[in-house]
Amino acid sequence: MKKIYSKLNNELLHLVYNTNEKINERIDLIEASNFIQCSIVPNNKKGYKYRPHFHNINELPTNKTQTQESWFVIKGSIRVFHYDLNNEIINIEILKKGYLNITLKGAHTLEILENDTLIMEHKNGPYLGFENDKTLL
């Protein structure tokens, strides 16, 4: 896993993980204090059933809410630009099938490198529409 830290305050901003690498045990990719949670759970055996469950609602102070986001490349490839807290590029990655990108803080963008590229995006909600959700650089 590659971790990208702010050059301003050494805060963890972005993570890149290649799920094509051998995974032997559960990996919690992000500290529990973050709004988005992401783990990789390998070696599930055929027939195993997880116990039915629901997740308890956490009461978070609204002044602490932020959006964190992840992209998983299902097919094709993308170029990801990671930005520091001062909106300067600090890292560029090419992500192919099986790669995961997680942004905790800092700006980001991506460029599609192949036709028919398919990515899955995850982020915490609610989503209030483009005008309310994003600040463009």
Dump the DSSP string for 6-71: -TTT--EEEEEEETTS---S-EE-S-TTSSS--EE---PPTT--PPP--PPPP---GGG----EEE
**Total domains present in the chain:** 1
Between vectors from CA 78 to CA 84 and to CA 126, what angle results, nearest 5°? Answer: 65
Digits of tens for pLDDT over the chain (137 positions)? 899 999 999 999 999 999 888 878 878 888 877 777 777 777 677 777 777 776 666 655 545 567 788 899 999 999 999 999 999 999 999 999 999 999 888 889 899 999 999 998 887 766 566 666 667 77
CATH of the domain at 45: 2.60.120
Residue that is written with structure tokens 């997880």 in the block: 50
76 burial level (CB within 10 Å; 0-12, 13-18, 19+) = middle
pLDDT of residue 55: 62
85 neighbors 126 (Cβ within 8 angstroms)? no
Q: How far is CA 115 from the centre of its chain?
A: 22
pTM for the predicted model, two decimal places: 0.77
pLDDT of residue 46: 75
**Sequence-distant (≥ 6) Cβ neighbours of residue 6 within 8 angstroms:** 12, 13, 84, 85, 90, 105, 106
Which residue segment(s) compose the domain that 100 sits in? 2-133
